[in-house]
């Protein structure tokens, strides 16, 4: 099978074409360095993504706080993680960088606040 990617590791943005069979890369063209090969390998066989979302805040000046995963998680776990945090509520005050949930669904990633939310009143 053949696929094309644009490597996002550095500003060169190499256009990479890859031929693969099963979980093996047979040929790869267009990458200027080995990081491009590793990027393509990850995208083909174990894609990961960072997740951003919103979580409800109790007693905050805002009703929601924005959050993100501390590192990318497997793409096929995104919806599981979204479900897991959907009903979570945290107490104000919240500070940027606070860990809201540790090791969400054993992915190794924490859910961290990306906004300050002061306590109401
Ligand atoms: S293949 Fe290497 S040089 Fe090209 S964009 Fe990726 S990291 Fe940059």
Give the distance (Å) from ligand 1 centre to CA of residue 23: 22
Percent of the chain with pLDDT over 90: 98
Cα angle at 58 between 61 and 94, to 5 degrees? Answer: 65
**pLDDT digits (tens), the chain, 121 positions:** 999 999 999 999 999 999 999 999 999 999 999 999 999 999 999 999 999 999 999 999 999 999 999 999 999 999 999 999 998 999 999 999 999 999 999 999 999 999 999 999 8
Choose one of 16, 25, 33, 43 to mutate for the ligand 1 pocket test, by most ligand atoms within 8 angstroms of C-beta: 33
The ligand 1 atom nearest the CA atom of 36? 1
Give the distance (Å) from ligand 1 centre to CA of residue 28: 13
- Within 10 angstroms of residue 77's Cβ, the number of other Cβ atoms is 19
Q: Which residues contact 86 (CB under 8 A, 6 or more apart)?
A: none
Same domain, 105 and 57: yes
Under 8 Å between Cβ of 96 and 113 = yes
Q: What's 74's domain CATH number?
A: 3.10.530.10
What is the residue range of 19's domain?
Answer: 2-46
- pTM across the whole model: 0.81
For residue 118, being part of any structural domain is answered with: no
Same domain, 58 and 40: no
Return the pLDDT at 121.
83
Residue in 76, 93, 84, 98 with CA at minimum distance from that of residue 53: 84
For residue 65, being part of any structural domain is answered with: yes
Rounded to an integer, what distance in angstroms lies between the CA atom of residue 22 and that of residue 44?
A: 10
Which residue has the least CA distance to atom 2 on ligand 1?
33
For residue 59, being part of any structural domain is answered with: yes
* Per-residue pLDDT reduced to its tens digit, 51-79: 999 999 999 999 999 999 999 999 999 99
């Amino acid at each position: 099978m053949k696929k094309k990617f644009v490597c996002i590791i550095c500003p060169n943005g190499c256009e990479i074409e890859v031929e693969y069979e099963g979980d093996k890369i047979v040929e790869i063209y267009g990458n200027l360095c080995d990081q491009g090969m590793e990027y393509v390998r990850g995208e083909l066989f174990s894609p990961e993504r960072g997740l951003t979302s919103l979580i409800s805040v109790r007693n905050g000046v805002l009703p929601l706080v924005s959050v993100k995963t501390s590192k990318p998680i497997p793409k096929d776990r995104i919806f599981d993680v979204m479900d897991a945090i959907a009903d979570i509520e945290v107490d104000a005050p919240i500070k940027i960088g606070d860990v809201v949930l540790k090791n969400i669904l054993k992915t190794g990633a924490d859910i961290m606040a990306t906004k300050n939310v002061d306590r109401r009143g």
